[in-house]
């Protein structure tokens, strides 16, 4: 089987806004990233996934792109970016960009042209439909499929004097960030579709001209020396024909947009063409591919012919929420064994393909707070999580700050938050009758800003993220005096040092890079253990995910420890005793 370079990679994800500010405007920038490349090289990562840096009005912090070909001035210049690629390359680090092509910004030229002339060329780049007169819609509880917005015709698209009449959106889809997924185009009876915020109009992938523009743009980035792409919200590209409404799934009368737009038939054909016309199979491509199940694995990530190198394993990140609505207030109890089963199931599904393993990203709370009980929110718990993340089969991703154990932030009021989804979720919780205090507690647990607070470099003012006297765009977590990269670099027993060690072990080992995955000691509750096997070589990883000892009967096998977060393993007479939150990597 052909081995790809990205199977042996360890990726470090950077949220540029929050990484390192060099010009004192309180916002991280590309020269800041370049200035910290040695830190990333020392960690051992050989790929950086950069969250969006292209021109954007920042309604969703760069995930709303208004010009795909240039760097937003807030992050630096096009030349700064070229320099980053060059300097990274000198250190053996490759750059993967975030490619946001499900939607663009409402300020993108294409959309501005579409607003002026919804029937013209650029109108066809978006999903624009006629609204439904309020009366027609109120005759049925939820608009039926028949009532879904009509296609444009010269007559319907005309800016009519009736435009002010009350019109409802073409269907009842709820956007991911809350509220209708349709926004009315002022002065017309037309609406455009936005699966995310209204400032993020969805692009129409049925339109051949649009597709050509996107391919050409992606190819320009490849020519610049980009090593791959993280494909944002990529399973939403195909919308269900006719845009039918579905029965409401909550009291707002709406239904999750996922019914009409997530992983719909025909999506893979679009993705194949996209791959063949641009990045092929040798670049690293990772799909943010919600809604992809067992039967889709071969098409998406098959090592022979998948549309991407890998997709992220998100199988366990929302165990604390009730499916399918993903309201942050709609929580449930979950267990470590459930998490383990979910992660192992993905391993099983992806046997002939490849995945990206991760615990954190810019959309998730910090892993220490999210996956560990109170008693494990310390070095042991965090280092155990690292072993779980870095040694499963797939390419591991480390999100900035995870390697030093950065934590969730608890801001007092919702106005101190920046994240658009936090604001929406807060409103949804208070609408549902929760008190302000309760609504804030959901935000504390789930806000995307938990992961977006400025990187904690040292114990100086603003954690060394920005120049003295500047105000960071988002509050710095007050724990920076304790948790910061400089302190951990000086401490031989720090989490940062543990990460460096594990990344090195991972990258140097063929077994850990390419070996098969096999669950081990599956029936022991609270223990996530697995083997990685290649030919006659084997590595075993034990993660005690609980605040109590676990005893494992090793039989007559002699276990040698390669790394242990307690320093040494406790093995006596064929019995291994794992202390609370102990991680042991060993071989027989
Ligand atoms: C993805 C990104 C998220 C963004 C959304 C819309 O889910 O990870 O940050 O808000 O897409 O682009």
String of DSSP letters for 372-410: S-GGG-SHHHHHHHHHHHHHSSSEEEEETTGGGT-----
CB-CB contact of 36 with 20 (8 Å): yes
The sign of the torsion formed by the CA atoms of 414, 418, 420, 422 equals negative
Find the mean pLDDT for residues 361-390: 98
CB-CB contact of 44 with 10 (8 Å): yes
Find the mean pLDDT for residues 580-588: 97
Atom of ligand 1 nearest to the CA of 103: 12
- What pLDDT sits at residue 165? 64
Atom of ligand 1 nearest to the CA of 177: 10
Could you tell me the distance, in angstroms and rounded to a whole number, from the CA of residue 569 to the centre of ligand 1? 42
Q: What angle do CA 429, 435, 437 make, to 5 degrees?
A: 100
Atom of ligand 1 nearest to the CA of 196: 6
- What pLDDT sits at residue 163? 46
- What pLDDT sits at residue 134? 87
- Asked whether the predicted pLDDT for residue 144 surpasses 60, the reply is no
Atom of ligand 1 nearest to the CA of 102: 12
Could you tell me the distance, in angstroms and rounded to a whole number, from the CA of residue 362 to the centre of ligand 1? 9
Pocket test for ligand 1, best of 233, 446, 451 (most atoms within 8 A of CB): 233
- pLDDT band of residue 467 (cuts 50, 70, 90) is confident
- pLDDT band of residue 210 (cuts 50, 70, 90) is very high
Give residue 291's Cα distance to chain centre: 14
Could you tell me the distance, in angstroms and rounded to a whole number, from the CA of residue 491 to the centre of ligand 1? 36
Find the mean pLDDT for residues 346-351: 96
CA-closest residue to ligand 1 atom 8: 363
- Asked whether the predicted pLDDT for residue 60 surpasses 50, the reply is yes
- Asked whether the predicted pLDDT for residue 78 surpasses 60, the reply is yes
Which letter does DSSP use for residue 552 in this model? E
Find the mean pLDDT for residues 364-388: 98
Tell me what the pLDDT averaged over the chain comes to: 94
Atom of ligand 1 nearest to the CA of 63: 12
Could you tell me the distance, in angstroms and rounded to a whole number, from the CA of residue 232 to the centre of ligand 1? 6
Pocket test for ligand 1, best of 178, 193, 356, 363 (most atoms within 8 A of CB): 363
Give residue 303's Cα distance to chain centre: 22
- What pLDDT sits at residue 1? 80
Structure tokens at 446: 């789930």
- pLDDT band of residue 156 (cuts 50, 70, 90) is very low
CB-CB contact of 586 with 529 (8 Å): no
CA-closest residue to ligand 1 atom 12: 63
Q: Supply the residues annotated as catalytic.
A: 232, 288
Find the mean pLDDT for residues 72-99: 98
- Of all residues in the chain, the percent with pLDDT exceeding 90 is 91
Q: What is the pLDDT of residues 388-434, one digit of tens each?
A: 999 999 999 999 999 999 999 999 999 999 999 999 999 999 999 99
CA-closest residue to ligand 1 atom 3: 363
Could you tell me the distance, in angstroms and rounded to a whole number, from the CA of residue 472 to the centre of ligand 1? 22
- Asked whether the predicted pLDDT for residue 351 surpasses 90, the reply is yes
Pocket of ligand 1 (CB under 6 A): 60, 63, 100, 196, 232-233, 288, 362-363
Pocket test for ligand 1, best of 102, 194, 200, 232 (most atoms within 8 A of CB): 232
- Asked whether the predicted pLDDT for residue 95 surpasses 90, the reply is yes
Atom of ligand 1 nearest to the CA of 60: 10
Residue of 472, 467, 487 lying closest to 409 (CA atoms): 472
Angle formed by the axes of helices 379-391 and 495-508, nearest 10°? 20
Pocket test for ligand 1, best of 63, 197, 420, 451 (most atoms within 8 A of CB): 63
Atom of ligand 1 nearest to the CA of 448: 9
Distance CA 97, CA 183 (A): 29
- Of all residues in the chain, the percent with pLDDT exceeding 70 is 94
Q: Which of 49-58, 147-156, 471-480 has the lowest mean pLDDT?
A: 147-156
- What pLDDT sits at residue 158? 43
Helix (H) or strand (E) holding 230: strand 228-231
Structure tokens at 453: 């607070």
Find the mean pLDDT for residues 22-37: 98
- What pLDDT sits at residue 324? 55
Distance CA 569, CA 68 (A): 52
Q: Which of 152-166, 168-182, 232-246, 378-392 has the lowest mean pLDDT?
A: 152-166
Find the mean pLDDT for residues 142-146: 43
- Asked whether the predicted pLDDT for residue 486 surpasses 70, the reply is yes
CB-CB contact of 98 with 52 (8 Å): yes
Find the mean pLDDT for residues 187-200: 97
CB-CB contact of 474 with 451 (8 Å): no
- pLDDT band of residue 34 (cuts 50, 70, 90) is very high
CA-closest residue to ligand 1 atom 2: 232
CA-closest residue to ligand 1 atom 9: 363
- What pLDDT sits at residue 128? 98
Could you tell me the distance, in angstroms and rounded to a whole number, from the CA of residue 289 to the centre of ligand 1? 11
Find the mean pLDDT for residues 170-194: 96
Find the mean pLDDT for residues 61-83: 98
Could you tell me the distance, in angstroms and rounded to a whole number, from the CA of residue 444 to the centre of ligand 1? 19
Could you tell me the distance, in angstroms and rounded to a whole number, from the CA of residue 295 to the centre of ligand 1? 25
């Amino acid at each position: 089987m052909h081995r790809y370079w990205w199977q042996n990679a360890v990726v470090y994800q950077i949220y540029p806004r929050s990484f390192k500010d060099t010009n004192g405007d309180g916002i991280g920038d590309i020269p800041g990233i370049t200035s910290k490349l040695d830190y990333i090289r020392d960690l051992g990562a050989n790929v950086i996934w950069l969250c969006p840096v292209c021109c954007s009005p920042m309604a969703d912090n760069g995930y709303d792109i208004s010009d795909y070909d240039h760097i937003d001035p807030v992050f630096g210049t096009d030349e700064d970016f070229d320099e980053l690629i060059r300097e990274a390359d000198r250190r053996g680090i490759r750059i993967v960009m975030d490619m946001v092509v499900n939607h663009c910004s409402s300020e993108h030229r294409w959309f501005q042209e579409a607003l002026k002339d919804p029937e013209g060329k650029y109108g066809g780049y978006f999903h624009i439909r006629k609204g439904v007169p309020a009366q027609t819609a109120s005759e049925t509880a939820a608009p039926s499929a028949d009532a879904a917005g009509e296609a444009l015709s010269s007559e319907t698209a005309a800016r009519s004097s009736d435009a002010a009449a009350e019109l409802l959106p073409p269907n009842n889809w709820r956007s991911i960030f809350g509220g209708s997924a349709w926004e009315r185009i002022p002065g017309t009876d037309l609406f455009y579709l936005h699966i995310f915020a209204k400032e993020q109009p969805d692009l129409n992938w049925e339109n051949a001209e649009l597709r050509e523009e996107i391919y050409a743009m992606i190819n320009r980035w490849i020519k610049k020396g980009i090593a791959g792409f993280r494909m944002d919200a990529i399973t939403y590209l195909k919308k269900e024909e006719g845009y039918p409404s579905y029965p409401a799934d909550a009291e707002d009368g709406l239904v999750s947009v996922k019914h009409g737009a997530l992983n719909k038939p025909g999506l893979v054909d679009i993705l194949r063409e996209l791959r063949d016309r641009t990045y092929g199979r040798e670049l690293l491509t990772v799909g943010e591919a919600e809604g992809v199940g067992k039967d889709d694995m071969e098409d998406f990530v098959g090592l022979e012919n998948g549309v991407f190198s890998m997709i992220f394993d998100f199988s366990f990140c929302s165990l604390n929420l009730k499916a399918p609505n993903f309201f942050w207030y709609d929580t449930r109890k979950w267990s470590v064994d459930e998490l383990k089963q979910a992660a192992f199931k993905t391993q099983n599904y992806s046997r002939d393909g490849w995945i990206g393993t991760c615990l954190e990203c810019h959309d998730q709370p910090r892993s220490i707070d999210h996956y560990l009980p109170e008693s494990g929110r310390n070095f042991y718990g965090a280092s155990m999580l690292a072993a779980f993340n870095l040694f499963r089969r797939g390419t591991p991703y480390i999100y900035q700050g995870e390697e030093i154990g950065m934590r969730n932030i608890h801001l007092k009021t919702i106005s101190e938050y920046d994240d658009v989804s936090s604001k929406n979720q807060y409103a949804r919780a208070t609408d549902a009758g929760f008190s302000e205090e309760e609504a804030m507690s959901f935000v504390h647990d789930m806000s995307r800003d938990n992961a977006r607070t400025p990187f904690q470099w040292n114990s100086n003012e603003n954690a060394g993220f920005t120049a003295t006297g500047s105000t960071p765009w988002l509050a710095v977590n007050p724990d920076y005096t304790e948790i910061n990269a400089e302190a951990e670099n000086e401490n031989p027993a720090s989490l940062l040092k543990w990460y460096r060690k594990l990344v090195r072990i991972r990258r140097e080992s063929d077994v850990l890079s390419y070996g098969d995955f096999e669950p081990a000691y599956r029936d022991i509750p609270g223990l996530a253990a697995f083997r990685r096997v290649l030919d006659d070589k084997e590595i075993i990883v034990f993660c005690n995910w609980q605040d109590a000892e676990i005893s494992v009967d090793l039989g007559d096998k002699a276990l040698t420890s390669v790394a242990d977060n307690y320093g040494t393993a406790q093995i006596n007479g064929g019995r291994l005793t794992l202390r609370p939150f102990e991680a042991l990597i060993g071989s027989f």
